[in-house]
Amino acid sequence: MRRRHNVSDMKKYCELTPHYLVFVQMQEFNLEQLLQAAPSTFARMLAIDASVWQRALAAWQLLGVADPAAVARNNLLLHTCEWLTRGVLAKLAALQQLLPWQPTAADVVQQFGVYVAAGAPQRLIGRLLFLQQEGWLPLLVADKLAARQQWRQQRGLNAGQPTDQPLFISLRETAVLSDAKFCAMLAAVEAAQPEQPVGGSSSTAGRYRAFMAQLPQLPAYQQLLAAGEAESRRLAALLPPELVGAGGEEESEV
């Protein structure tokens, strides 16, 4: 059962980490929600320097997010990420450029920020580029159920009518599945395709492994990293000097 923090816990933690007291007292954040956070989330929030979440909120605003504090309230871990790093901003650029519906930067932060904040750049960007290579990006959707319903409505089909409906790929699956499960899902998608895949007779898993092995040398991947680096410099130049700090230092991309 999840342990609920109480006010005395909060006071004790605030005494140990004075910078966090400022965070708790900010009107934009919901104290009750903070007290109900999972212990691991709570501990991570306590461990970060105040400049990290201040930098995150400021960067989101520069990216066009109308209410950065609301985004932070919806997912308390998002603002514990260094949003000025090249890898994080490269993932943001990849989602903007490669998702079929072409979301804005603000849309990505608000709706898919968890995929930007977590995980190595190679994983998410590599998978998106692999889907592009295979010709499967049009099957990528934010919500499978909504995509199926829309597909049927566009064709005037009732819910019970049998169809040759395509197998959609969700962004969540692309971001979080293990390599084995991701490849198994893509193998099912490939089997449902009426035409031969780009890769010919080789297995989906084999093509995926070969693609990921050469990813660091691919121009498309290098261009997205360069876009992340350029965006990091742009945002840093717009932020107050006291917020920039080490925010642009690169995280591990392994």
Q: Tell whether 75 and 128 lie within a shared domain.
A: no
Domain contains 145: yes
Q: Tell whether 135 and 196 lie within a shared domain.
A: yes
Quote the pLDDT of residue 75: 80
Q: Tell whether 132 and 188 lie within a shared domain.
A: yes
Average pLDDT value for the chain: 80
Q: Tell whether 131 and 59 lie within a shared domain.
A: no
pTM (2 d.p.): 0.79
Shortest CA distance to 81 belongs to which of 56, 112, 58?
56
Domain contains 251: no
Which structural domain, as residue segments, surrounds residue 76? 9-81
Q: Which two tokens stand for residue 230?
A: 């350029």
Average pLDDT of the segment spanning 23-28:
46
Q: What percent of the chain has pLDDT over 70?
A: 71
Q: How many domains does the chain have?
A: 2
Domain contains 102: no
Q: Tell whether 77 and 148 lie within a shared domain.
A: no
Within the chain, what is the greatest distance between any pair of CA atoms?
64
Q: Which two tokens stand for residue 212?
A: 């990921």
Domain contains 236: no
Quote the pLDDT of residue 249: 53
Adjacent-strand bridge partners of 170: 141
DSSP 20-75: HHHHHH-TTS-HHHHHTS-HHHHHHHHHS-HHHHHHHHHHHHHTT-S-HHHHHHH-
If pLDDT is split at 50, 70 and 90, which confidence band does 244 have?
A: confident
Of 12 and 126, the one with more pLDDT: 126
- Distance CA(8)–CA(115), nearest Å, equals 34
